[in-house]
Amino acid sequence: MRMTYREAIRAGLREALTSDPRVFLMGEDVGHYGGAYAMSLGFLDEFGPERIRDTPLSELSYVGAGIGAAIGGLRPIVEVMTINFSLLAIDQIVNMAALYRHMSGGQFSVPVIIRMATGAGRQLAAQHSHNLENWFAHVPGLKVIVPATVADARGMLPAALAEPDPVLIFEHAMLYNNDEDVDDWQCDLTHAAIRRPGTDASIITYGGSLPKALAAAEALAAAGIDAEVVDLRVLRPLDRQAIADSVRRTHRVVVVDEGWKSGSLAGEVIAGLAEECLYDLDAAPRRVCTMEVPIPYAKHLEDAALPSIEAIVEAVRQVCHA
């Protein structure tokens, strides 16, 4: 079946609401408006206001309400419109949801799902173009997932609903209109995925950078360089074994991360490789990240700030010719 990334998420939400009466959706504009990205269009009429709850413009309050509902036995899916708004609820996510099982000695779990759009590329300027997934991936007690394909957009939500602890789902907004044939969407929340096998270099990436990495790999293939593309899919816990296995096959690595380079997830991946398989590398690892500036509004400047296919190609060429 061919569907878009947006349709895949909507299908997952509908299935969750239909199959489990404990599940409800809450967030800004999810009801009458149908969601900021049309994820819940028609859901209010289909499931009613008890299951599809429009909230005030107060992330701190409604994320906290979702956490409380999860502790009370429900299965809330909380939609935060964009990742920058999650900063208004970071105390609830990091100081409450992530820590409750530990601080209660295992007496309580918080099975809440928090979904949000992330990423740049839409000319929304500095305050609405964040990539802060790594901030949350730093925190024990949270599971952080980043579906980059239509199949994962469809399959990761039901897998997340089976988790006993908080799951954060980051959906890159530039992926919503992507479409592909989806036959098998079953997946777990543990393993990275090899999206393109290769022998000469590993391109490690996730989320909205995956299409760029795949396009770069095709361009490199035309030049005689066979690049493997690894989609991390889950940022916490990282599938360090899959990362190491890929680098041991190719002996060269480029990590592509739309976050800023300083303190980036790309840096964490490379640090792990240095610890686990330093002597398998035939060249120094390289990172392709967003430039260390607030994301510009002007389209040509925004494009220049973000990782590009050309930058990935050049980085792989450099590690292969080192």
Average pLDDT, the chain: 96
Among residues 98, 94, 116, the alpha carbon closest in space to that of 108 is found at 98
Structural domain spans, the chain: 2-181, 193-320
75 CB contacts (<8 Å, ≥6 apart)? 16, 20, 22, 23, 24, 111, 112, 113, 161
Residue 128 is a catalytic residue:
yes
Separation of alpha carbons 17 and 67, rounded Å = 18
pLDDT in tens, 170-191: 999 999 999 999 888 989 899 9
Long-range Cβ pairs for the range 121-128 (8 Å, 24+): 121/173, 121/174, 121/208, 121/302, 121/306, 122/173, 122/174, 123/297, 123/298, 123/299, 123/302, 124/297, 125/295, 125/296, 125/297, 126/294, 126/295, 126/296, 126/297, 127/84, 128/82, 128/84
CATH number of 193-320: 3.40.50.920
Task: Specify the pLDDT at position 1.
Answer: 83
Three-state SS for 209? Answer: helix
Q: Which pLDDT band holds residue 292 (cuts at 50, 70, 90)?
A: very high
The tokens 């490690």 sit on which residue?
204
Q: Could you tell me the two tokens for 291?
A: 């430039």
pLDDT in tens, 178-232: 999 988 898 989 999 999 999 999 999 999 999 999 999 999 999 999 999 999 9
Cβ atoms of residues 189 and 146 within 8 Å:
no
Task: Specify the pLDDT at position 184.
Answer: 86
Task: Provide, for the chain, the percentages of residues in helix, strand and coil under a 3-state DSSP scheme, each rounded to the nearest 5.
Answer: 45, 20, 35
Region of residue 300 (phi > 0: left; psi between -120 and 50: alpha; otherwise: beta) = alpha
Task: Specify the pLDDT at position 288.
Answer: 98
pLDDT in tens, 137-178: 999 999 999 999 999 999 999 999 999 999 999 999 999 999
Asked if the model's pLDDT at residue 322 lies above 80, the reply is: no
Separation of alpha carbons 97 and 111, rounded Å = 9
Separation of alpha carbons 118 and 213, rounded Å = 18
CA distances from 199 to 245, 249, 252, 262 (A): 12, 6, 9, 29
Asked if the model's pLDDT at residue 91 lies above 90, the reply is: yes
Task: Specify the pLDDT at position 16.
Answer: 97
Separation of alpha carbons 159 and 23, rounded Å = 14
321 CB contacts (<8 Å, ≥6 apart)? none
The reply to whether 2-181 and 193-320 are identical in fold is yes
The catalytic position among 128, 130, 228, 258 is 128
Residue 59 is a catalytic residue:
yes
pLDDT in tens, 234-286: 999 999 999 999 999 999 999 999 999 999 999 999 999 999 999 999 999 99
Alpha helices in 41-98 (DSSP H): 43-47, 59-71, 90
The catalytic position among 7, 28, 59, 228 is 59
Separation of alpha carbons 92 and 60, rounded Å = 7
Task: Specify the pLDDT at position 106.
Answer: 93
User: Strand pairing partners for 287?
Assistant: 255
Task: Specify the pLDDT at position 168.
Answer: 98
pTM for this entry: 0.96
Asked whether the bond before 237 is cis by omega within 30 degrees of 0, the reply is yes
Q: Which pLDDT band holds residue 5 (cuts at 50, 70, 90)?
A: very high
CATH number of 2-181: 3.40.50.970
Separation of alpha carbons 40 and 17, rounded Å = 11
